[in-house]
Amino acid sequence: MSSLDKRTAERGEPSGGSAGPVPKSVAARTLRILDTFDSGHCELSLSDISRRSGLPVATCHRLVGELVEWGGLLRTGGRYRIGHKLWSLGLLSESHHGLAELAAPYMHDVLFLTKHVVNLFVLDGAHALLLERISGTQPGRALHRVGDRLALHASAGGKAFLAYGPPELAKAALANPQRLTPNTVIDPTRLRRELEQVRRKGYAVTLEEAVRGAHGIAVPVTAADGSVLAALGVVTVGTRPRPAAIVPVLQIAARSIAREAGRLAVRGGPAA
Amino acid sequence: MSSLDKRTAERGEPSGGSAGPVPKSVAARTLRILDTFDSGHCELSLSDISRRSGLPVATCHRLVGELVEWGGLLRTGGRYRIGHKLWSLGLLSESHHGLAELAAPYMHDVLFLTKHVVNLFVLDGAHALLLERISGTQPGRALHRVGDRLALHASAGGKAFLAYGPPELAKAALANPQRLTPNTVIDPTRLRRELEQVRRKGYAVTLEEAVRGAHGIAVPVTAADGSVLAALGVVTVGTRPRPAAIVPVLQIAARSIAREAGRLAVRGGPAA
DNA sequence: CGGCGCTTTCCACTCAGTGGAACCCGCCCT
DNA sequence: AGGGCGGGTTCCACTGAGTGGAAAGCGCCG
């Protein structure tokens, strides 16, 4: 029994990968291996995977091998990355993707009128999930990519969710706001006041609160029954956004998207 | 032993799902379950999955349960579909995605000038993989979606690959061309002659060869060293495309994309 | 040359996974 | 009502797939 204790103790917590105890079922272990990949770690070595997953190397070796054979991971040199199988599989996720597709034309309109990068977010648990993005015409490195998850308190879209979503969501988000830049607002009372203002004015802004030099402005996409389907926003780099020019455009687009989504009338937005 | 034979016989071939024998390893079985989903089957019931995978229901039930708990599948009613976990995971597949991102602005330009749906393909084995698509402004039913794989001999982008790619690729594709519509060209000599023409004129067309009523026109995206990086095309529905108006636009965009891609390829690794 | 970190292979033990069978439930047909 | 049907769910005794420590292989650096 002492050997068992030792084993568990030595394993310790995974260095920074997926949290939680090591799962016993093979399937869960396989999936945990996939979990070790995220936007900051899209290329991992075998031992990276082992460390981040908390699984023994030998086990990882075998499971990773199966994933590679399947096509879910691909191996280049001694490193692994997500393969095209998973990519095309993920695209079948109709859930929110229908919304992205339907919103795209209106997002183009916003791009055409404002010349800024246009973002569409849905609420995913305690994060704003970047569902669709229309990049501006100037080829530059993007701040965020489709599929990224942003903090609710530090993104314009996120603030829209906090302002118009259920109160318990805001409560949870204001509990421990992370500081991301010197400008991030982490004081709960000040955040609460900001949300009040969002509700009054009808749009949310962030000024270099998530990324230095980047400003955001967003409006909620509200369904007929008042629920928030999504958040639509633009990003400006360098210069501050001018609400007078941007907000009306966003609001018209948001209303069109909501109407279109309602017409589709299948089932509502993101599962909580 | 007879019971074993009977079992194998009764199981038979999966009705139309993933081919090959039933794998013995748990991991492979789990992944096989994911394989039962494709663009034509994005919502499956448990017994659908069982049939298409060739795995017993009880086994599917358990594995699917784990996938749901993980977030890779999501259950609505009695049906399953791909969940957002797999979606965002798939987006980490850097492999070609950088190209899609860099091409997007130029594809917007093509949309703006031609008003047609714009497609960007890369070669994926013996298929043209739809990497990025800029849908037109009119919200309508899309013919193909990002992630779909198209036959090489029946799509404009595919023909571009056949015409400008390695000869063995064309050889393989001309071996057994599937008929998809009454207009599909399946005669190898005629196809070969068409490819000759593509090389001479610099662009490829399809006239209702993959989908009735839909025409395609595409040009190759050629790198400085002459290799074909991708194919860029537009789709017209109903009316035939007018090459004189469309091809120059496509070619300019293709050159820009190739140039941009070349610039990007210089830097070695994707820095974290 | 010896040490270090990573990957790969091996193999005896054992427990997770298996899947047939029974059960439950909603639906349609008669 | 009844009963047949096509799902989904639960159960459990059996067993071989999966496990993971250990050791060998490999490339790199000082």
pLDDT tens digits, residue range B44-73? 999 999 989 999 999 999 999 999 989 899
CB B167 within 8 A of CB B244: no
> For the segment B209-255, what is each residue's pLDDT rounded down to a tens digit?
999 889 999 999 999 888 999 999 999 988 899 999 999 999 999 99
CA-to-CA separations, B242 to A185, A261, B38, B217, B235, in angstroms, rounded? 55, 34, 34, 9, 11
**Residue closest to C21, CA→C1'?**
B58
Cβ <8 Å between A66 and B27: yes
Query: Can you give the pLDDT at residue B9?
Result: 34
Q: Which residue has the tokens 């260095």?
A: A15
CA distance B185 to B68: 43
Determine the Cα angle at A149 with ends A153 and A84, to 5°.
175
Domains of chain B: 2-89 (1.10.10.10), 93-266 (3.30.450.40)
CA-based nearest residue to B68, from B50, B83, B47, B88: B83
Phi, psi values for residue B147, rounded to 5°: 100, -15
CA distance B184 to A246: 48
Cβ <8 Å between B139 and A102: yes
Q: Which residue has the tokens 């210089």?
A: B266
Question: Cα dihedral sign for A188, A194, A199, A205?
Answer: negative
Name the nucleotide with the smallest C1'–CA separation from B44: D7
Q: Quick check: B118 pLDDT over 90?
A: yes
Q: Quick check: B204 pLDDT over 60?
A: yes
CA distance B109 to B235: 15
Per-residue model confidence as pLDDT tens for chain A (272 residues) = 333 333 333 333 444 455 567 788 999 999 999 999 987 788 899 999 998 999 999 999 999 999 998 989 988 888 999 988 898 888 888 666 678 888 988 998 998 899 899 999 999 878 898 988 887 655 555 678 778 889 999 999 999 999 999 998 999 999 888 899 999 999 999 999 999 999 999 999 999 999 988 999 999 999 988 899 999 999 998 889 999 999 999 999 999 999 988 876 444 333 32
CA-to-CA separations, B39 to A102, A271, B17, in angstroms, rounded? 18, 22, 12
**Which residues in chain A are closer than 8 Å to B93, comparing Cβ atoms?**
81-84, 86-87
CB B55 within 8 A of CB B39: no
Q: Quick check: B26 pLDDT over 50?
A: yes
3-state secondary structure of A188: helix
Burial of A232 (0-12, 13-18, 19+ CB in 10 A): buried
CB B223 within 8 A of CB B262: yes
Write out the two tokens for A140. 């530059």
CA distance A257 to B228: 38
Query: Can you give the pLDDT at residue A94?
Result: 67
Query: Can you give the pLDDT at residue B7?
Result: 34
Q: A147 vs chain B: nearest CA distance in angstroms? A: 5
Q: B252 vs chain A: nearest CA distance in angstroms? A: 15
Query: Can you give the pLDDT at residue B140?
Result: 53
Instruction: Name the β-bridge partners of B82.
Output: B73
CA distance A46 to B230: 32
Angle of helix A188-201 relative to helix A167-175, nearest 10 degrees, comes to: 150
CA distance B35 to B19: 10
**Which residues in chain A are closer than 8 Å to B37, comparing Cβ atoms?**
89, 92
**Which residues in chain A are closer than 8 Å to B34, comparing Cβ atoms?**
89
CB B36 within 8 A of CB B29: no
Residues 6+ apart with CB under 8 A from B152: B126, B127, B128, B158, B159, B161, B162, B169, B173
- For B137, the closest of A72, A89, A105 (CB atoms) is A105
State the CB neighbour count (10 A cutoff) for residue B265.
13
Bridge pairing between strands A117-124 and A79-82: unpaired
Query: Can you give the pLDDT at residue A242?
Result: 94
CA-to-CA separations, B53 to A99, B30, B44, B56, in angstroms, rounded? 30, 10, 11, 9
Burial of B263 (0-12, 13-18, 19+ CB in 10 A): exposed
Q: B172 vs chain A: nearest CA distance in angstroms? A: 22
Which chain B residue has the Cα nearest residue A268?
B76
Instruction: Give strand C nucleotides closer than 7 A to any protein Cβ.
Output: 5-10, 15-21
Mutation for testing the A interface, residue in B75, B88, B97 having most A CBs under 10 Å? B88
Name the nucleotide with the smallest C1'–CA separation from A58: D20
Residues 6+ apart with CB under 8 A from B227: none
- Mean pLDDT score across all residues of chain B: 84
Query: Can you give the pLDDT at residue B1?
Result: 34
State the virtual CA torsion across A205, A210, A213, A218 in degrees, nearest 10.
-30
Of the ranges A73-77, B62-66, B199-203, B268-272, the best mean pLDDT one:
B199-203
Cβ <8 Å between A271 and B74: yes
Footprint of strand D on the protein (CB under 7 A): A 7, 26, 29, 55-59, 62-63; B 24-28, 45-47, 50, 57-58, 61, 78
Mutation for testing the A interface, residue in B31, B36, B124 having most A CBs under 10 Å? B31
